[in-house]
Amino acid sequence: MAPKTYINGKLYDKADAKISVYDHGLLYGDGVFEGLRVYGGKVFRLREHVERLYDSARSIALEIPLTPKQMAEAVEATVKANAKQEGYIRLVVTRGAGSLGLDPRKTSDPQVIIIVDDIVMYPQELYENGMEIVTAATIRNHPNALNPRIKSLNYLNNIMAKVEGVRAGCHEALMLNHKGEVAECTGDNIFLVKHGVLKTPPPDAGILEGVTRNAVMELAQAAGIPVQEPALTRHDVYTADECFLTGTAAEVIPIVKVDGRPIGTGKPEPITRQLREAFHQLTRR
């Protein structure tokens, strides 16, 4: 079945799902988005994703023409219309079409777009054997320039870091903040394990607070694994016993080498495997 895309209350075939070239989402990256997963026909943590979408929109003074409840219902209806049991959702709200200028007052009719499609994950062997990453020279946006907690349509900051990772032969790249501290990867949050303690950068390190990140922290606490959110440096990464990434598409994936340095034994370790299995059970029970 051809994918059906929701745009402002109507469903369109993939080839017919279009918006204006004058939309400020295209012209200036002016808008917000969320990526969600469908497991067994159900949307994973829909409420949390919708809440974060509206937080991002409020932060950039974008008025979404639906209530959060209506948005959640639209997402579920679009998943049902696509008869998708396992898949990915891209939820987008643009500023709307306007004139060729920055002023958002010159725009009208924000576009609410819900795309439901198949999920593309990392290759299976990387989940089994672990993945290598490098540190990008491109840092996270300074919070006084554009707060990294806003999930906006302007992702060039992350894309340039991703380009660095790809050119180094890696699927991901680690990004530091303006203080040189570890923040996150281009599309995933990072976790370390040291002496049995799970550590991940705090929100004020310039990270996007991932929904999967929060779920993994809850799973760790439920399993009796201590969880901390301290400021971290690359030294902490290099000397960690374990390292893994979390994300909507990535789920939980082990990292076994960073900047050419093996992490721990250079193989996926017990706590990473335990949390990956716990997340698998949470989403697929």
At 272, list the tokens: 């990473």
CATH 3.20.10.10 fits 124-284, yes or no: yes
Domain with CATH 3.20.10.10 in the chain: 124-284
Location of structure tokens 């707060």 = 147
CATH 3.30.470.10 intervals, the chain:
4-117
Residue 4: beta bridge partners? 13
Q: What residues contact residue 36 under an 8 Å CB cut-off, 6+ apart?
A: 43, 44, 45, 46, 49, 75, 88, 89, 91, 248
Q: Apex CA 248: angle with CA 223 and CA 88, to 5°?
A: 135
Name the token pair of 257: 């080498």
**Global pTM value:** 0.95
Digit-by-digit pLDDT tens for the chain (285 residues) are 788 999 999 999 999 999 999 999 999 999 999 999 999 999 999 999 999 999 999 999 999 999 999 999 999 999 999 999 999 999 999 999 999 999 999 999 999 999 999 988 899 999 999 999 999 999 999 999 999 999 999 999 999 999 999 999 999 999 999 999 999 999 999 999 999 999 999 999 999 999 999 999 999 999 999 999 999 999 999 999 999 999 999 999 999 999 999 999 999 999 999 999 999 999 987
With DSSP H G I counted as helix, E B as strand and the rest as coil, what are the percentages for the chain, rounded to 5?
Answer: 30, 30, 40
CATH architecture of the domain covering 4-117: 2-Layer Sandwich (3.30)
Element containing residue 175 per DSSP (H, E): strand 172-176
d(CA 285, CA 281): 6
Q: What residues are annotated to the active site?
A: 151
Query: How many other C-beta atoms can be found within 10 angstroms of the C-beta atom of residue 90?
Result: 14
